[in-house]
Amino acid sequence: MIRMFAVLVLSALSTVAHAQAWHFTRSLNLVNSSHATVAAFFAARAGDDRWQADLLGGRGLRTNFYAQLDLDAPAGACRYDFKAVFSDGTSTVRRNVDVCTSQTYTLTDR
């Protein structure tokens, strides 16, 4: 009985460790060089329209400032879609950004 319990516990721990081994986060420096404060910033794995929660946490990002963000990167994902919502009500979406090549993403008015 004790031996069976020990095997079950070790099996569960192994499963958790294996699942955690494939879960990463990626750091991203978000630079706001645009015309307005960024009110919210969202990310999703490329091609997935389910946006993560506002990565700025409601703090906003003023023009000519930057913020360091952590992206949820299951299995080491590198490509993301980004959505920025500005304080003036405009928004922009950029698709398929490779954050493994560059850890800085700059918002501009272009």
- Does the predicted model carry a pTM greater than 0.85? no
Q: Residue 11's pLDDT is what?
A: 54
Q: How far is CA 63 from CA 55, 57, 108, in A?
A: 17, 17, 10
pLDDT attached to residue 15: 47
19-23, Cβ contacts within 8 angstroms, sequence gap of 24 or more: 22/74, 22/75, 22/76, 23/73, 23/74, 23/75
Give the integer Cα–Cα distance in Å for 1 and 82: 52
* Distance in angstroms (rounded) separating the CA atoms of residues 41 and 49: 14
Looking at every residue in the chain, the average pLDDT score rounds to 84
Tell me which of 58 and 3 has the higher pLDDT.
Answer: 58
Question: What are the residues facing 82 on neighbouring strands?
Answer: 43, 94
Structure letter (DSSP) for residue 21: H
| Architecture of the domain defined by 23-107 | Sandwich (2.60)
Q: What is the pLDDT of residues 71-81, one digit of tens each?
A: 988 777 899 99
User: What digits encode the pLDDT tens for the residues 30-73?
Assistant: 999 999 999 999 999 998 889 999 999 999 999 999 999 999 88
pLDDT of residue 105: 96
CB atoms within 10 A of CB 43: 25
